[in-house]
């Protein structure tokens, strides 16, 4: 059973929450717009914070890539995702991650499509003290603050020769994205999308032309020599 299948059971129990709490803020790093050269890959960190000191015990998130302009197939979630961030010191469930304790990937085995020209990728995890493996042990909810913590790390890839603008965002569908606190209460959330521009090449800052610089240097040297010659001539007349 994958971590997402386990989470579907855990979240199903949490869905009996009678109240929607507020405060979870999801953001992306780098911020918009992120520019990638066609044919290259990039990594995007998903960050989570709270403006009301919420606790977080379970999360299930679905991320979407939607083309805005250009080639529809120019950006996609990478088939190979790196989950080493589960042991990152800034990971929201660092040290209490159910996915890490069970050596289970927190994401899909492969990205999917939810609509024409729209790609999806789901990631989830829950807290666990590891006392009842392989079953879930005691939960250890984490208190969120305004300081962002790492929620997930997504690898995206592009296709050489295909350019365009794309939007990476968190699905607002409550059956695909849910944050649950330590009291089994569903938390409201807000997120800002990340615009990703896939271009044929990165524009570079032009270097100053060499020839004009040489002219300026030569003029300065010539001016210095003329001044030096005039001083020498004046000294000769006084001698």
Q: Which CATH number belongs to the domain containing residue 66 in this structure?
A: 2.60.40.680
Find the mean pLDDT for residues 67-75.
92
Could you tell me if residue 204 is inside a domain? no
Give yes or no: residues 40 and 141 share one domain. Answer: yes
What is the pLDDT of the chain when averaged over all its residues? 82
Same domain, 159 and 214: no
Give the CA distances from residue 11 to residues 3, 69, 73, 186, in Å, rounded to whole numbers and listed in that order: 12, 36, 33, 9
pTM given for the model: 0.76
Residue-level pLDDT at 168: 97
What pLDDT is stored for residue 102 in this prediction? Answer: 86
Residue 99 tokens read as 């996915």
Q: In terms of domains, do 148 and 214 share one? A: no
Asked if the model's pLDDT at residue 41 lies above 50, the reply is yes
- Split at pLDDT 50, 70, 90, the class of 126 is very high
159 plus 219 within the same structural domain: no
Calpha distance 122→45 (Å, rounded): 14
Do both 191 and 220 map to the same domain? no
Is there a single domain that holds both residue 171 and residue 223?
Answer: no
The whole domain housing 48 covers: 3-199
Same domain, 122 and 216: no
Q: Do residues 54 and 21 make contact, with C-beta atoms less than 8 angstroms apart?
A: yes
Question: Does 7 share its domain with 59?
Answer: yes
173 and 218 share a domain?
Answer: no
Q: What's the whole-number mean pLDDT along residues 51-68?
A: 95
Residue-wise pLDDT tens digits, 134-187: 778 889 999 999 999 999 999 999 999 999 999 999 999 999 999 999 999 999
Contacts of 76 (CB under 8 A, 6+ apart): 65, 111, 119, 156, 157, 158
How buried is 4 (Cβ within 10 angstroms: 0-12 exposed, 13-18 middle, 19+ buried)? buried
Give yes or no for a contact between 116 and 122, defined as CB atoms under 8 angstroms apart: no
């Amino acid at each position: 059973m994958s971590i997402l299948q386990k989470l579907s059971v855990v979240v199903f129990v949490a869905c009996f929450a009678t109240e929607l709490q507020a405060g979870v803020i999801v953001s992306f790093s780098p911020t918009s717009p992120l520019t990638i050269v066609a044919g290259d890959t990039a990594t995007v960190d998903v960050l989570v914070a709270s403006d009301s000191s919420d606790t977080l015990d379970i999360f299930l998130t679905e991320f979407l890539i939607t083309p805005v302009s250009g080639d529809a197939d120019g950006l996609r979630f990478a088939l190979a995702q790196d989950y080493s961030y589960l042991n990152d010191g800034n990971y929201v469930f660092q040290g209490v991650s159910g996915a890490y304790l069970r050596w289970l990937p927190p994401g899909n085995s492969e990205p999917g499509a939810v609509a024409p020209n729209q790609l999806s990728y789901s990631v989830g995890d829950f807290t666990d003290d590891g006392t009842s493996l392989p079953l879930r042990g005691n939960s250890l909810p984490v208190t969120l603050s305004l300081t962002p913590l790492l929620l997930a790390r997504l690898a995206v890839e592009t296709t050489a020769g295909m350019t365009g603008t794309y939007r990476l965002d968190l699905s607002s569908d409550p059956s695909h994205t849910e944050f649950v606190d330590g009291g089994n209460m569903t938390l409201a959330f807000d997120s800002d999308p990340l615009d990703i521009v896939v271009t044929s090449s990165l524009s570079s800052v032009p270097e100053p032309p060499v020839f004009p610089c040489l002219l300026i240097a030569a003029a300065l040297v010539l001016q210095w020599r003329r001044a030096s010659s005039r001083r020498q001539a004046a000294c000769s007349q006084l001698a």
